[in-house]
Amino acid sequence: MKIAYLSTFYPFRGGIAQFNASLYRVLEKNNEVQAFTFTRQYPTILFPGTSQYVTPVDEVDKIPSKAILDTINPVSYPRAARTIVEFKPDMLLTKYWMPFFAPSLGSVSKTLKKHNVINISILDNVIPHEKRLGDVALTQFFLNQQHGFVVMSSSVRDDLLKLRPDAVYEEHPHPIYNHFGPKLSKQEARQLLNLPENKKILLFFGFIRDYKGLDLLLKSMKMLSEDYHLVIAGEVYGSFDKYDDLISRLHIKNKVSKHIHYINDKDVPKYFSAVDVCVLPYKSATQSGIIGICYQYNLPVIATNTGSLKEMIEPYNTGLIVNELTFQALTSTIEKFFSSNINKFAESIEQYKEKYSWENLSYAILNIYSKIALELDVK
């Protein structure tokens, strides 16, 4: 099968690019796959991080992609579509995570649909975490150009069915990342990161945004004993000043290590090897790619009961869920975790890995394609 995969690829960096690279490598084993990406993903003025692009120190999978689509230049939309049509794909595969991409990806999909190409989209979100006027209309336009979908959580599935009750879809949780380096010993990792060797260490990892609830975790650190230490690792979207102010007011500076910058792939193993548990105190969520990294390193997770985070943790006994969105409940859950048999969580992660692989995600995509192709042929 010929698959055109239009999304974020090298030289762009971040979780979306990593996801696409991992899936691309599986799909290309038995299909002819061409990756297409953006000439401009976000306008610089709208991008809150330091850089959208890989740097010389990043270790990335350099997927051979063709840059064809400028998200904010409608002139590029038909041109990009023509380039993909020339490839003569059977399927156009896209990844959708926010309404900003609806006009560009939706327009290309609409053109491909007219050329009898089956459009399938992997949905990270349908309704974004940070809502804006026009989000639903834009998302509706994009969804209407698709033949089928992959959703990675029940909350995304439910949001999809509200806007497309007739949607053809497969549900498959976020696969386990496997492209980062091997696990280090805890002692070595803590030494490399200059972390205390005899503390119970928590990790808050990834882009720092308001909805991810870092403020709740900092308030929990105030309540936890001196035996606990928090590592904050990731690039901040906006300013970190309000968190610095909170750390000062709570007098917990000695209990927090800050690594407030984009974490390169080669450094990821240090963080996930050095800590005892990853904490996701999210105030809203669908699913989380961070859990996929945790499970690569057999690292348990503590997460709030929002979106579908619970689905990735509780049924598999790979961590604990915080059932109330308060720092008091978060504190109690953290203490409960460390009074448990932590090794049992790691053992359970191995069972999750076997089920939710990149190979199985590729099978889900191909299964949707087969259903749609059969239906279209019948019609």
Q: What is the DSSP string of 38-70?
A: EEESS-GGG--SS-SB--TT-------EEEEEE
Do you know the residue count of the chain?
379
CATH class entry, domain 2-175+356-378: alpha beta
pTM for the full predicted model = 0.72
Q: What percent of the chain has pLDDT over 90?
A: 72
Listed by start position, the domains of the chain span 2-175+356-378, 186-355
* Side-chain half-sphere CA neighbours of 83 within 13 A: 18
SS3 201: strand
In angstroms, what CA-CA distances link 269 with 57, 183, 290, 362? 15, 6, 13, 26
SS3 146: coil
Q: pLDDT tens digits, residue range 10-36?
A: 998 788 998 999 999 999 999 999 999
Cβ-in-10-Å burial (0-12, 13-18, 19+) of 210 comes to: middle
The per-residue pLDDT of the chain, averaged, comes to 91
Question: 186-355 is classed in which CATH architecture?
Answer: 3-Layer(aba) Sandwich (3.40)
> CA 330, CA 302: separation in Å to the nearest integer?
9
For residues 133-142, average pLDDT: 91
Q: pLDDT tens digits, residue range 173-220?
A: 888 887 788 999 999 999 999 999 999 999 999 989 999 999 999 999
Would you give the DSSP letter of residue 254?
Answer: G
